Chain A
Amino acid sequence: MELTGAEIAIKCLQEEGVDCVFGYPGGAVLFIYDALFNQDKVKHILVRHEQAAVHAADGYSRSTDKVGVALVTSGPGLTNAVTGIATAYMDSIPMVIISGQVPTSYIGEDAFQEVDAVGITRPCVKHNFLVKDVKDLATTLKKAFYLAKSGRPGPVLVDIPKDVSNQKVEFSYPSSITIRSYNPEKNGDVSQIKRAAQLLIEAKRPMIYAGGGVILADASKQLTDLVRLLDAPCTNTLMGLGGYPATDKQFVGMLGMHGTYEANMGMQNCDVLLAVGTRFDDRVIGNVAHFGSVPRKIIHIDIDPASISKRVKVDVPIVGDVASVLGDLLAVLHSSKQKPDAEALASWWKQINEWRSRNSLSYKNSTETIKPQYVIEKLYEITHGEAFVTSDVGQHQMWAAQYYKFTQPRRWINSGGLGTMGFGLPAAMGVQLAHPDAAVACVTGEGSIQMNIQELSTCKQFRLPIKVIALNNRYLGMVRQWQEFFHGNRYSESYMDALPDFVKLAEAYGHVGIRVDKPSDVEGALREAFERKNDLVFLDFQTDPTENVFPMVPGGKGLSEVILAEDL
């Protein structure tokens, strides 16, 4: 049957099993919106800003294992989407972004709402396409979904000129696709896996450091089995939280700039380090020379060969799908006659427990002012650790990561790589749409929330009962903290004057707002919010403006050069 490009685009989404698209209409995508109008399989979520469309598709993807889809118009529609695309790219989130483009005959003429979408997004997509011929549209969309999801996942942009969306062609959707220049490895090299197993079994002080790759590959079970089999301590990166249950005794907390003392000391003192689905990021290992200054063997499992030996030279590189490699590694270990060295492990755990006893996440609670850490602890209790928690970027993000103990993957949703303020609320929309009955909390600050506050309107339209947990300290808290530590208390532009009344603001959008000033009211307010199953509740917690995030490894320092709260 002959279909228009616009109809083909929607058909392709249906074929891919897409049930939800986040977008915003405009001139160049009018035909596509027309095709959307005439069907009911793909639901469209109308956001209030294109950045939010992409973040929402991103949150949708992170909380499921599906490809997120966003639809934006040409020019400003696309440029508004770029922050969202870059956010997804940095965290390897599978997404397809469809953007409208001016008609092919106008391209290059500086037409109204024309922008070089492929050029602008090139550095922040896994791949992108400009579809110049409607005959190529179905195949291109098939490729886009395949690329987004396979190998190291990432966002893929498909730019469709307006005339292409209106031309007709016979439609057939390819059932599978191969790209001769793209063949990601699935299975790890057997001999390397055997070497890794040998190193791990002989280790006296093993350490397992797992990142977002474990979540993306749905490899939590394999990771958990491996950690238990080896009786090794396990740490998660910010992106990896929930990949290993945080309540387990072998979990030593998050590592990195705001990681626990025991996780960072473990990283620096182990003799064999197994890095899984992670990339030795600067916020994770600190100063690279300091990190490399101690002898240890490093095994690195990652789907992306370019992530291996990029910042840190490794001894055993294993390229492959994390779930597959961990499965093979477990099989080798199970069949081995050797067992982990129980005596060595006992003394290693003794050392770790000594570091743990420093209790690096302790903070002094108050009956006068609300401590942000306390809010997160109560949030954890009241939601039984089972909520989906999205966050924005800053101090509140770190506190959420530190004090909410994630026991399942895909529950903690934040912008780790790009650090995008404004991510939390739209991401929560995507999560809530994917999980209509689940408790979804957006932990945010008064700075971040204002970067996409307009989405409260989308939440109203689609009845998304998100709980916004705003830790309002009147400061851009993380900026303030760095200014306190490294810039002589000169709080240059980090205080926000003239903040809105968030309660009234929430009400203006048709939601419930609650302001909480006293520590004794925190628990009650949270309970009330989560009991209101059908309402979006905006909780404005007036928190202690002087509170800092500890522990802290200052930028450029090594993991053991940490500042603890007790040091100050």
Chain B
Amino acid sequence: MRHIISLLMENEAGALSRVAGLFSARGYNIESLTVAPTEDPTLSRMTIVTNGSEAIIEQIQKQLNKLIEVVAVIDLSEGDHLERELMLVKLRAQGEAREELKRMADIFRGRIIDVSDKTYTIELTGTGSKLDSFLHAIDRNLILETVRTGSSGIGRGDRILKL
């Protein structure tokens, strides 16, 4: 099962490698991992998308909690939550395709953030599957480059992960 784990950790050098090292040493999967400092600059917030049996997910959370620099861990997928990922796609946009790509970007609520006479660069946010759908909806041959951030997640309503 796919799980999305959120954690707060000390914003210190080497903290990320402890998390990454834990996953590789214990053979856990990482589908994606995002990290950046929070509004409190001493803390970083990390979102890890992983998969595994209930027992493995339980171990992942316990092992993450055991890392000295980890302040708090929750499995967002245990309850209501929101998930967003940002993708930048550079597309070949010439001739008829130029109009078509503009339309597709609008349908997916994407924004064209860079234009050249041959290309569009589109910014798109959404769940991972929405981004996948966009890529499937356009002609594969037009895709020049994609870059994705991996999912960031947050609980709905009163579900708050804070120190």
Q: Which A residues are closer than 8 A to B by beta carbons?
A: 118-119, 122-123, 126-127, 130, 147, 179-182, 304-306, 309-310, 313
Contacts and interface: CB of A to CB of B under 8 A. Distances in A.
A305 B21 contact: no
Contacts of A306: 59, 62-63, 65-66
Interface string B51-79: 00001001100110110111100000000
Given A180-B71, A181-B69, 4 more contacts: A122-B18, A127-B68, A181-B68, A310-B59
A304 B17 contact: no
Contacts of A182: 68
Contacts of B107: none
13 contacts: A118-B14, A122-B14, A122-B18, A123-B21, A126-B68, A181-B10, A181-B68, A304-B66, A305-B62, A305-B66, A306-B65, A309-B55, A309-B58
Interface string B101-140: 0000000000000000000000000000000000000000
B61 to A, nearest CB: 9
Contacts, number: 36
A119 B70 CA distance: 18
Contacts of B69: 181
Contacts of B71: 180-181
Interface in B141-159: none
B25 interface: yes
B163 A180 contact: yes
Interface string B18-60: 1001000100000000000000000000000000000100110
Interface of A is mostly: mixed
B88 interface: no
Contact of A122 (B21, B65, B66, B163): B21
A181 B65 CA distance: 9
A180 B68 CA distance: 9
Contacts of A309: 55, 58
Nearest first, the 10 closest Cβ-Cβ pairs linking A and B are A306-B62, A181-B71, A127-B68, A123-B25, A305-B62, A306-B66, A182-B68, A306-B63, A122-B21, A181-B69
Interface residues of B, number: 20
Contacts of B68: 126-127, 147, 179, 181-182
Contacts of B55: 309, 313
Contacts of A122: 14, 17-18, 21
A143 to B, nearest CB: 9
Contacts of B25: 123
A153 to B, nearest CB: 13
A185 B134 CA distance: 48
Nearest to A152: B66
A179 B68 CA distance: 9
B9 interface: yes
Nearest to B26: A123
B52 to A, nearest CB: 13
A97 to B, nearest CB: 16
A181 B66 contact: no
Contacts of B10: 181
Contacts of B66: 304-306
A180 B66 CA distance: 13
A417 B58 CA distance: 23
Contacts of B70: 181
Contacts of B14: 118, 122, 130
Contacts of A313: 55
Contacts of A304: 66
B18 A305 contact: no
A91 to B, nearest CB: 17
Contacts of B63: 306
Nearest to B24: A123
A152 to B, nearest CB: 8
A118 B13 CA distance: 11
B17 A119 contact: yes
A181 B62 contact: no
User: Most chain-A Cβ atoms within 10 A of its Cβ — which of B10, B14, B70, B163?
Assistant: B14
Contacts of A123: 21, 25
A118 B69 CA distance: 14
Given A118-B14, A181-B10, A181-B70, A305 B59 contact: no
Nearest to A179: B68
A310 B63 CA distance: 10
A108 B13 CA distance: 14
User: Most chain-A Cβ atoms within 10 A of its Cβ — which of B10, B25, B66?
Assistant: B66
A122 B25 CA distance: 11
A554 to B, nearest CB: 25
Contacts of B18: 122
A180 B9 CA distance: 10
A182 B67 CA distance: 9
Nearest to A127: B68
Contacts of A310: 59
A300 to B, nearest CB: 13
A130 B69 CA distance: 14
User: Most chain-A Cβ atoms within 10 A of its Cβ — which of B62, B65, B69, B70?
Assistant: B62
Contacts of A305: 62, 65-66
Contacts of B17: 119, 122
Contacts of B65: 305-306
B45 to A, nearest CB: 14
Nearest to B63: A306
Nearest to A304: B66
A310 B18 CA distance: 20
A304 to B, nearest CB: 7
A130 B18 CA distance: 14
Contacts of A179: 68
A557 to B, nearest CB: 23
Nearest to A307: B62
